[in-house]
Structure 1
């Protein structure tokens, strides 16, 4: 409250700042498709502001020179016609007001009329001006005509028309840019959506969020879901932590819209220079892989794992086959294309624990849980029911 009172007393009212903030309502125009023409006009005006400021300084310089000249020659002209207590050349401020009126080409003839009065009936050369030693209140027609004509030509016909020319030129440029595939509004939209995914402003997002980010953009940069294959084919560089830089994503999306053109290369270089000036920290984040390479690595790892699982399954089946054949020594087996499975890991462990003098246990005894207290009895080689024993082992194997 105290700060607001101080500002209001010595500067301007804080209410003025609130009124200025109403200009932010112009952002709503970006959401209305029918307001494209208004956005083009505003964009042309924004582009013209630097040049208009320079022309304004030139106009002020011209007005400053003519105001001093008018004070020196028309300060004591008789107050009649368009010259009164407000519009006169007595002070610098009043002279600037008169020149501004002349610049608008409105009522400049009323200001010139008293200056043209030079006859004794209309003015007096012996009139004593209050507060000065200067006598007379007559004008100077030749100087007055030269003054007004030259100022009107310089200010109105040249300087003011320069305003119009610059605005029209920038409007033409803005109209041409509006017909291009990408515009400044598209890039601003990109950064606005980026702020939602990069809350901490690190300039990076995780690879897992890239699909949702691409779907959240507006046309023409938007890549609707399903979009993972398209994003992978873009071959985006990634840094440690599976993160992707903002500028790399913008380059890839822009390239998708514009294609491989010379304009794309120039635009990329310009955008990178601006970004590096604002964010020099990107130099320390060098990419270590890309989205395409990461997908290739994932597919390669998946193929290797799948092949290794098949290898383990075949190995276990061969070891089980070896044990079953070792138990049923008298059985005859058809010859296979490849060599029979030799003694595997499980068979070597059996010999290590039971020794060569002991008969090998069944496959179920080897593969069962150690906590299982069930023990399979050893088959008797002199049993009178050998076929029954073989059936038992067949059931065990199956």
Structure 2
């Protein structure tokens, strides 16, 4: 069932006789081929993989029970929950300031441009092609050595330019430290190549430089599939380490048992001077080979030998005795193969498949890590000092400057006001409040996740200490309501002043005197004054209606009617 030695057994069965004690005959029982093929299909392909599937399924179920946070959430709610978890682990970073020196500022502009990183990646790829062309011919070696020196000069210049442009900020990046270490080792190996070649080949350093190709995964957003695989691998590392420790514990126990029972075996079959049970290291090597299901049947065959298979080099008293209890040897190996190969090793597959599934689901979510990184990258342009706050007046421009799907294109003031973003003193808004509101806009609202949202906001507050020191005093919606209320009060106050002006002014009371002197000119001036007063009070005059019929305060209508009668 484990595909070890099954073909030898099949050929022996095909050549065997139906009666015991007779010599084998070539292909005497051809129908045994069918028997073994059927057994391999059902016993190995089907049942063995079904066994592995059960192990993986139970492993995933236990993992979900341990986490227990998303058992009763729908798929949309899980997306929202994952987005909140990503929010809690991020905060704005202060951008690297541009040097005031003209020359260093010029280098800074070059280094921070995307074209610079793309150019370096191209040189790395070309260096990889040169490494593939290495051979033992002397002429080719000289040419390739000169080309490698050129690439070393390019990478050295890159490090020098970055150190000058970024100053001490250069050493805060892990990628930069990796680049610098590779360049330094390459220069040292080129200077003292004879000494370094005694320990390791210079090709190893050039191979390490190829790991920098991983940068291109950050520059090219279309490589999301490869990034998903790498992300799944990184997520699996902690669990793989734990499973490895469990496997080592099982190997340690079985190695001690093997040394106590199988140390007397003679060196034949799978047992030799390296793979044996006489020492702890030899026992671990044997068990590690069996863990990969490689040749475990040869070890079992050696364990099942009779007394003549015992060695007299260890203890003369073992000569003429059985080395191993046959039943115990079978139980020892079968149990170890089931525990290590069929259960523990397949847990590696379960972990990787589970994390790959999670990474695939997260990459398909409406919001991923890249979207939040782009948010904070845009935030750095509006908040260069990394205060985690921006002015309320800059919110509209910031929302329009974001990349999709978080972007809210202009005109966006009504949408931003309706989000009811909290305002702190100085009319400022915190980055987490904006990002949380924009995330809700993309993923939608979930009323039954209020407790979870409060819990995540508490974690965000702990991660972003600046938010805890600034308590909200208002909000965008409340501010708009206050502005509308102020306009209503101002308009009512203007109307009140207008009524008082009509009550106190003597202009209309002397209407008869001015009409007799100026005639129709006075009516035009009257209409002009009325239109100005109505504009100030928030009304519009209707030209089709006479002046006296316009909706004015009652006092003015009475005066106008009296004056018209006198005229």
Q: Which secondary structure state, in structure 1, belongs to the residue aligned with residue 336 of structure 2?
A: helix
Match for residue 297 of structure 2 among 97, 101, 109 = 109
**Counterpart residue number, 1:284:** 469
1:217 and 2:405 correspond: no
More RCO (CA 8 Å, sep 6+): 2
Q: SS state of the match for residue 429, structure 2?
A: strand
1:41 alignment partner, one of 229, 237, 249? 229
Q: 2:424 aligns with which of 239, 243, 249?
A: 239
SS, match of residue 223 in structure 1: coil
- 2:284 pairs, out of 96, 110, 115, with 96
C-alpha contact 1:123 1:138 (8 A) present in aligned 2: yes
1:265–1:23: structure 2 CA closer, same or farther, 3 Å change rule? farther
Aligned partner of 1:153 in structure 2 is 338
* SS of the residue 2:425 aligns to: coil
Cross-structure match for 2:133: none
Asked if 2 retains the 8 angstrom alpha-carbon contact of 1:237 and 1:291, the reply is: yes
Distance 1:197 1:115 in 2: 74
Task: Summarize the alignment of residues 102-141 of structure 1 with structure 2, pairs less than 5 Å apart.
Answer: 102-120=290-308, 122-124=309-311, 127-129=312-314, 139-140=323-324, 141=326
CA deviations on 1:263-298 (whole Å, 9 max, x unpaired) are 764663353133133235533311112223434555
CA contact (8 A) 1:78 1:138 kept: no
| Equivalence for 2:265 | 77
Q: CA RMSD in A?
A: 4.7
The separation in 1 between residues aligned to 2:381 and 2:259, in whole angstroms, is 61
Which of residues 264, 269, 275 in structure 1 aligns to 2:454? 269
Cα deviation, residue 185, structure 1: 4.0
Distance 1:68 1:312 in 2: 102
Moved more, 282-291 or 265-274: 265-274
Q: 1:65 to 1:237 in 2, by over 3 A?
A: same
TM superposition shift of 1:30: 5.2
Partner deviation per Cα, 1:90-130 (whole Å, 9 max, x = no partner): 3323322221111111122233333333242x444xx133x
Alignment partners' CA distance in 2, 1:44 and 1:330: 92
User: How far apart, in 1, do the equivalents of 2:247 and 2:343 lie?
Assistant: 10
CA drift at 1:248: 0.8
Shift of 1:150: 0.8
Q: Identify which range, 24-33 or 105-114, moves more after superposition.
A: 24-33
Q: Residues 20 and 244 of structure 1: is their aligned pair in 2 closer, same or farther, counting only changes over 3 Å?
A: farther
In structure 2, C-alpha distance between the alignment counterparts of 1:240 and 1:279, rounded to whole Å: 18
TM-score by length of structure 2 reads: 0.46
Distance (whole Å) between structure 1 residues aligned to residue 414 and residue 389 of structure 2: 21
Indicate if the aligned counterparts of 1:77 and 1:138 stay in contact, CA closer than 8 A.
Answer: no
- Aligned residue for 2:438, secondary structure, equals helix
**Partner secondary structure for residue 252 of structure 1:** helix
Alpha-carbon distance, 1:195 to partner: 4.3
Q: How far apart are residue 82 of structure 1 and its match?
A: 2.7
Q: Secondary structure at the match of 1:205?
A: strand
Matching of residue 61 in structure 1 with residue 246 in structure 2: no
Maintained 8 Å contact 2:304/2:329: yes
Separation in structure 2 between the aligned mates of residue 186 and residue 17 of structure 1, nearest angstrom: 35
Q: 2:496, 2:323 → 1: CA distance?
A: 113
In the other structure, the counterpart of 1:162 is: 347
**Separation in structure 1 between the aligned mates of residue 350 and residue 492 of structure 2, nearest angstrom:** 73
Equivalent in the alignment of 2:49 = none
Question: Per-residue deviation at 1:46?
Answer: 4.0
Query: Which secondary structure does the structure 2 equivalent of 1:165 belong to?
Result: helix
CA distance in 2, matches of 1:298, 1:96: 78
Could you list the runs of 5+ residues in structure 2 that have no partner in the other structure? 1-183, 186-199, 530-567
| Paired positions, count | 318
Residue number in structure 1 paired with 2:533: none
Cα distance in structure 2, aligned partners of 1:134 and 1:24: 62
- Alpha-carbon distance between aligned partners in 1 of 2:514 and 2:371, rounded to the nearest angstrom: 80
CA shift at 1:135, angstroms?
Answer: 5.1
CA contact (8 A) 2:425 2:473 kept: yes
Say whether the 8 Å CA contact 1:76–1:138 is kept in structure 2: no
Q: Structure 1 residue 167: deviation in Å?
A: 2.8
TM-score w.r.t. length of structure 1: 0.63
Greater shift, 222-231 or 61-70, is seen at: 222-231
- CA gap of 1:106–1:217, structure 2 versus 1, over 3 A, is farther
Please say if residues 310 and 318 of structure 2, whose CA atoms lie closer than 8 Å, have aligned partners that are also in contact: no
State the 1:237 CA deviation.
Answer: 0.9
Q: Distance in 2 between matches of 1:19 and 1:203?
A: 41
SS in 2 for 1:62: helix
Contact 2:362 2:368 in 1 (8 A): yes
More displaced 10-residue stretch of structure 1: 266-275 or 279-288: 266-275
Cα separation, partners in 2 of 1:285 and 1:97, compared to 1, 3 Å: same
